[in-house]
């Protein structure tokens, strides 16, 4: 991890303070003693404080912007001094990508879509919400002056947090002028995207320079709601990572582990960031159950992160009693555990080469999510990487569903396989980027995509049926099972077939269809294979990870996992009888010469209907995923391929009996709840 003069602390608060100019008495009830006692009782050791909010108002006297019209004193200074006096870190926040005050004074600084509407929360003049700003406009200079002012006023702050870092394909005045001056055509999508990329590049350079204008070691973080996988070009502008991931706010409980499994492979310290809210940011009076926050913070520790919890301060400046009671329950637990997490690194056997990093998409990569779910639920030790990272550290590399091969990647994969590495390919992964041939030897003939798909449906939709080889099947399915996406047609030659494909009688069309969804399968196999194993390559003919992400059928997962385990051969470093809803990680503390095994369990429940949040950032029309109860798991077994001499429960103490068999040891726990760490001495 990258060292920094301001090391991240474990128990942080991100204190939102986006406050309307129409609310009176801003900060009127701020009380230094109450502020300090509340934070200390909740075991908080860092809190991010506001210089400027999304509305555009400053919370201190300013010669650049405008102080909130109903603030009569320097609120940030009062908060900052009280925080520092209590021994608590205080990074400073400025809204960067949105600023309603600046957009009111300078409407020409707003981002405008190619169709003439605005971008962001408020796309029409009479719609409530925040206004996205164009970084090609003079707004960027204005923002940088605000940042420089903040570091002059608070030179010993513990970092600058800049928020909402994005840029759409803006066609506002300043972006149009930029494109014209630089030979870009605003009528072309690729040119608009290039203009946006250059605007962001200019943003990162100028704002980082402003934040470091007095101190070259000033920590800086640019928040875009997601750490984009594969964007190595922007990393020099970051001092650390903060992984925004509010499970109840639309991210879900699988997003954070996936994000952390990529971030831990970067040379940066990082935080997980959840919220105290029942839903997402901007919620007053919403409270997550204490058990949910306790689990979320435990998951951050287990997957290598320090902790940050989002809160929103009431305009009167008083910290909410219920909020900090809930946070305190989680953070006192974190405080007890952090010495077993400090300086730890994750231990991995496999790596997933990120589909998001390869395609350049942002945030939503179903193949990544499906692969991570399969591996999380099956308790593999795995990381998420991009092509610039070292492949040699992993026993096997998973290329999920849609990763086509170019010459550069081919060279790196060949070297990896030559050194004994194994490749797991699915769907179109492994095909050349520019032609319909495989770049690796599958030990099979390739005949293109299956012809079975509804002709007027989505291009990847289709259906056929698979019957895996007997030893690879799910334990409860012995007949062909339907697959909902098109397969690639292969016939095993030198390779070992994973099983057979059965075709439907016909495509489903208006003139011939059967029943509600699927045409049933022919009784005889098609002659094509559902996958093949050849040497150091395992291939599945369907995009099985995207498929599992979309449909979640357990029979698919069992087939995938059985095939992977048989392919890997040697027993995995860790195996367990934990249910699929539990989570497991293994970390290493080199300085202490020990490993820490993390066991996590909390059942999630989908409650409520589709959320309609005015101004919120919940996307995808999802219901709320809730954790309320923390039942115990009983009779848990974990077998490890490690030379373990002794094991004990931490932080509570107590030896764990171990049974040795060759180079493997088995641990047995009568029960645990939520999060249990086990210290393994080697």
CA atoms within 13 A on the CB side of 28: 7
- Other beta carbons within 10 angstroms of residue 589's beta carbon come to 17
Residue 15 β-bridge partners:
311
Q: Which residues in the chain show pLDDT less than 50? A: 1-4, 459-460, 619
Tokens of 278: 């029942």
Report pLDDT digits (tens) over 321-336: 999 999 999 999 999 9
Reported pTM: 0.94
Task: Give the model confidence (pLDDT) of 595-629 as tens digits.
Answer: 999 999 999 988 776 666 655 555 455 678 889 99
Phi, psi of 131 (to 5 degrees): -110, 125
| Phi/psi of residue 309, nearest 5 degrees | -120, 130
- CA pair distance 624, 171, nearest whole angstrom: 36
Label residue 529 exposed, middle or buried (CB < 10 Å: 0-12, 13-18, 19+). Answer: buried
CA atoms of 378 and 561, how far apart (whole Å): 7
Residue 265's H or E segment, with its range, is: none
| Residue 3 confidence (pLDDT) | 43
Only one residue has tokens 């470093």, namely: 573
Distance of CA 26 to CAs 19, 21, 34, 39, 68, Å? 8, 9, 17, 20, 8
Burial class (CB in 10 A: 0-12, 13-18, 19+), 613: middle
Q: Are 572 and 659 within 8 A, CB to CB?
A: no
- H or E segment to which residue 90 belongs: none
The Cα 682–Cα 228 span in angstroms is 37
User: For every residue of 110-129, which 3-state class applies, written as one string?
Assistant: ECECCCCCECCCCCCCCCCC
pLDDT above 70 coverage of the chain, percent: 95
For tokens 């995808």, the residue is 620
* C-alpha–C-alpha distance, residues 98 and 198, integer Å: 18
C-alpha to C-alpha distance for 21 and 62, rounded to whole angstroms? 16
- The string of DSSP letters for 452-494 reads -S-TTS-TTEEEEEEEE-GGGS-TT--S-EEEEEPPEEEEESS
Q: What is the pLDDT of residues 283-296, one digit of tens each?
A: 899 999 999 999 99
Cα of first residue to Cα of last residue in the chain, in angstroms, is 24
Q: Omega before 651 cis (within 30°)?
A: yes
Structure tokens at 505: 């009688």
Q: How far apart are CA 596 and CA 479, in angstroms?
A: 42
Task: For 108-134, give one letter per residue: b (16+ CB within 10 A) or e.
Answer: ebbbbbeeeebbbbbeeeeeebbbbbb
- Do 562 and 424 form a contact (C-beta atoms < 8 A)? no
**Domains of the chain, CATH where assigned:** 11-343 (3.20.20.80), 350-570 (3.40.50.880), 575-681 (2.60.40.1180)
């Amino acid at each position: 991890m990258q060292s920094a003069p301001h090391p991240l602390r474990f128990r942080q608060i991100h204190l939102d303070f986006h406050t309307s100019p129409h609310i009176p008495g801003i900060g009127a009830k701020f009380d230094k003693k109450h502020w300090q006692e509340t934070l200390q009782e909740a075991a908080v050791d860092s809190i991010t404080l506001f210089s400027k909010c999304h509305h555009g108002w400053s919370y201190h006297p300013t010669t650049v912007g405008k102080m909130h019209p109903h603030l009569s004193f320097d609120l940030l200074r009062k908060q900052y001094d009280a925080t520092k006096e209590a021994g608590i870190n205080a990074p400073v926040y400025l809204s960067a990508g949105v600023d309603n005050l600046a957009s009111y004074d300078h409407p020409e600084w707003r981002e405008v879509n190619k169709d003439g509407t605005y971008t962001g929360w408020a796309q029409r003049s009479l719609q409530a919400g925040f206004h996205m700003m164009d970084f090609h406009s003079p707004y960027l200079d204005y923002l940088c002056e605000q940042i420089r002012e903040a570091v002059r006023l608070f030179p010993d702050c513990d970092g600058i947090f800049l928020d909402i870092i994005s840029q759409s394909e803006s066609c506002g005045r300043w972006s149009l002028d930029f494109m014209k001056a630089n030979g870009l055509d605003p009528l072309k999508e690729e040119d608009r995207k290039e203009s946006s990329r250059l605007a962001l590049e200019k943003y990162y350079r100028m704002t980082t320079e402003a934040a470091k204008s007095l101190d070259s070691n000033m920590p800086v973080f640019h928040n875009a709601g997601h750490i984009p996988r594969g964007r190595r070009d922007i990393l020099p502008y970051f001092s650390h990572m903060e992984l925004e991931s509010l499970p109840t706010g639309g991210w879900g409980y699988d997003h954070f582990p996936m994000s952390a499994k990529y971030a831990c492979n970067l040379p940066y310290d990082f935080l997980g960031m959840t919220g105290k809210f029942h839903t997402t940011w901007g919620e007053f009076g919403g409270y997550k159950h204490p058990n949910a926050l306790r689990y979320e913070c435990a998951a951050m520790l287990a997957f290598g992160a320090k902790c940050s919890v989002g809160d929103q301060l009431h305009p009167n400046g008083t910290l909410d009693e219920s909020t900090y009671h809930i946070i305190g329950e989680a953070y006192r637990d974190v405080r007890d555990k952090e010495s077993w997490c400090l300086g730890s690194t994750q231990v991995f056997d496999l790596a997933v080469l990120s589909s998001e990093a390869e395609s350049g998409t942002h945030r939503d990569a179903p193949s990544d999510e499906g692969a991570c779910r399969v591996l999380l639920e099956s308790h593999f030790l795995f990381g998420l990487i991009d092509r610039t990272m070292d492949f040699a550290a992993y026993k096997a590399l998973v290329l999920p569903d849609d990763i086509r091969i170019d010459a550069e990647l081919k060279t790196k994969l060949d070297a990896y396989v030559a050194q004994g590495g194994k490749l797991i390919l699915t769907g179109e992964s492994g095909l050349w980027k520019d032609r319909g041939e495989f770049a690796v030897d599958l030990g099979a003939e390739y005949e293109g995509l299956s012809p079975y798909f509804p002709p007027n449906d989505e291009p990847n939709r289709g259906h056929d049926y698979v019957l895996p080889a007997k030893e690879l099947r799910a334990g409860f399915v012995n007949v062909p099972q339907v697959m909902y996406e098109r397969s690639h047609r292969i016939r095993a030659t030198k390779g070992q077939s994973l099983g057979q494909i059965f075709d439907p009688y016909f495509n489903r069309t208006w003139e011939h269809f059967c029943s509600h969804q699927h045409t049933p399968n022919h009784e005889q196999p098609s002659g094509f294979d559902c996958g093949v194993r050849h040497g150091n390559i395992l291939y599945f003919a369907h995009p099985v990870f995207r498929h599992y992400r979309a449909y979640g059928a357990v029979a698919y997962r069992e087939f995938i996992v059985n095939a992977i385990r048989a392919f890997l051969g040697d027993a995995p470093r860790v195996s367990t009888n934990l249910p699929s809803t539990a989570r497991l990680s293994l970390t290493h503390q080199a300085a202490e010469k020990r490993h820490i095994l993390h066991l996590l369990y909390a059942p999630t429940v989908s409650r409520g209907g589709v959320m309609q949040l005015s101004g919120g950032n919940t996307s995808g029309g999802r219901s709320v995923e809730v954790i309320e109860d923390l039942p115990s798991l009983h009779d848990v077994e974990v077998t490890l391929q490690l030379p373990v001499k002794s094991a004990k429960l931490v932080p509570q103490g107590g030896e764990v009996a171990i049974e040795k068999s060759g180079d493997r040891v088995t641990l047995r726990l009568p029960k645990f709840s939520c999060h249990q760490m086990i210290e393994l001495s080697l």
